[in-house]
Amino acid sequence: MIATLTLNPSIDRELAVQGELERGGVRGYRRLGDQAGGKGVNVARAVGGAGLDAVAILPAPPHDPFLQLLEGASMRVHAVPSSAPVRINLTLTERDGTTTKLNAAGERLDLAVEQALVDALLREDDASWIVLAGSLPAGSDPALYARIVARLRAAAPGARIAVDTAGEPLAAIVLGGSRVDLIKPNAHELAELLGDAREGDALENDPDAAAGAARQLLDDHDGLGAVLLTLGGGGAVLATRDGSWRGSHPPVAVRSTVGAGDSALSGYLIAAERGLPERERLAWAVAYGAAAVTLPGSEIPTIDRVTPARVTTSTLAVPAVEPSEG
């Protein structure tokens, strides 16, 4: 069973832009629809869609439209009542598949709601993986995920924890020495974590450099178990303490890249639940990510759309890293 926590869920509203989007210009659009989103929600939906047990834990006011959008979803939903309405994130899609995302900050959660969410997570004591995913609502303590990990470690020492976040919350986890089994940055998030956000494109286009950077993180931070680094159309790299691999997929027709990273993480987790080794988990991650980009908006692929056999994996010879000083 997989339990996800989404502290900042969203209604994902997709707008199809007429013509090309131009900064400062005027364009028409067609509203395509709303989906219940947020990274942990998407992961739970994908895992549930693969026939596995998943629960999405999140805050939402009792009659928020977000909850109606979740009716009939493939996973269990545990909504902790909150007074903060669920944010609306916009996805602007152009004909050629270019996706522009405008994300709202999300409203700060009351301390009592925060506590109730963590308590709900702790009650899921048969979860094989706990996933903490997405940004934190505005005004949250950037170390909130790190504090939640510390509580989970104390209460459930054996649980495996995956974190998919960015910026300060990710830095608080990694640099603060939290013990997590997996992080899933993209190249830009990894570059920012390493202190040079400008290097994101370079990492995305150079899987060897990306793997070296991921491996360096593992060497510098004992708390980290593995890094699943997504590289857009370049597939993904998985760096673990036992080896590093690259997975790539033949090109696909891209409709929307929203949710591709969540799908990749889901693929890894679904393969892990099936007892597959790391290299095959990577193949599943890449296959899920590739299937996701062929779907509109933040639609998450069901397992029948996913073909891990189309993914080529190779072992990366990552140079040995000098032990860090001190």
Ligand X SMILES: O=P(O)(O)OC[C@@]1(O)O[C@H](CO)[C@@H](O)[C@@H]1O
- Site for ligand X, rule CB under 6 A: 8, 10, 12, 37-39, 42, 89, 101, 103, 134-135, 258-259, 261-262, 298
- Please, which residue, 89 or 140, has the CB nearer to ligand X? 89
CB of 302 to ligand X, least distance (A): 17
- Please, which residue, 167 or 243, has the CB nearer to ligand X? 167
- Please, which residue, 134 or 235, has the CB nearer to ligand X? 134
CB of 16 to ligand X, least distance (A): 17
Q: 297 — alpha (psi -120 to 50), left (phi > 0) or beta?
A: left
- Please, which residue, 64 or 262, has the CB nearer to ligand X? 262
CB of 215 to ligand X, least distance (A): 25
DSSP string of 120-176?
HHHH-TT-SEEEEESPPPTT--TTHHHHHHHHHHHH-TT-EEEEE--HHHHHHHHHT
CB of 112 to ligand X, least distance (A): 22
- Please, which residue, 49 or 212, has the CB nearer to ligand X? 49
Which of 75, 80, 62 lies closest to 120 in space, CA to CA?
80
CB of 301 to ligand X, least distance (A): 13
Structure tokens that stand for 107 in this block: 């409203």
The residue type found at 299 is E
Q: In this structure, what are the phi and psi dihedrals at residue 146, rounded to the nearest 5 degrees? A: -60, -40
In whole angstroms, what is the distance from residue 84 CA to residue 106 CA? 8
* Bridge partners, 33 (sequence order): 14
Cα–Cα distances in angstroms (integers) from residue 80 to residues 11, 44, 306, in the given order: 16, 16, 32
Q: How far is CA 166 from the centre of its chain?
A: 10
> Which residue in the shown chain puts its C-beta closest to ligand X?
37
- Please, which residue, 146 or 316, has the CB nearer to ligand X? 146
CB of 296 to ligand X, least distance (A): 13
CB of 205 to ligand X, least distance (A): 22
CB of 76 to ligand X, least distance (A): 18
- Please, which residue, 230 or 240, has the CB nearer to ligand X? 230
- Please, which residue, 180 or 292, has the CB nearer to ligand X? 292
Question: Does residue 259 contact residue 230 with C-beta atoms inside 8 Å?
Answer: no
- Please, which residue, 12 or 114, has the CB nearer to ligand X? 12
DSSP string of 197-213?
GGGHHHHHH-HHHHHHH
Which of 96, 99, 138, 108 lies closest to 13 in space, CA to CA?
99
Helical axes 144-155 vs 111-123, angle rounded to 10°: 40
Which of 228, 203, 207 lies closest to 282 in space, CA to CA?
228
Question: Does residue 292 contact residue 21 with C-beta atoms inside 8 Å?
Answer: no
CB of 42 to ligand X, least distance (A): 5
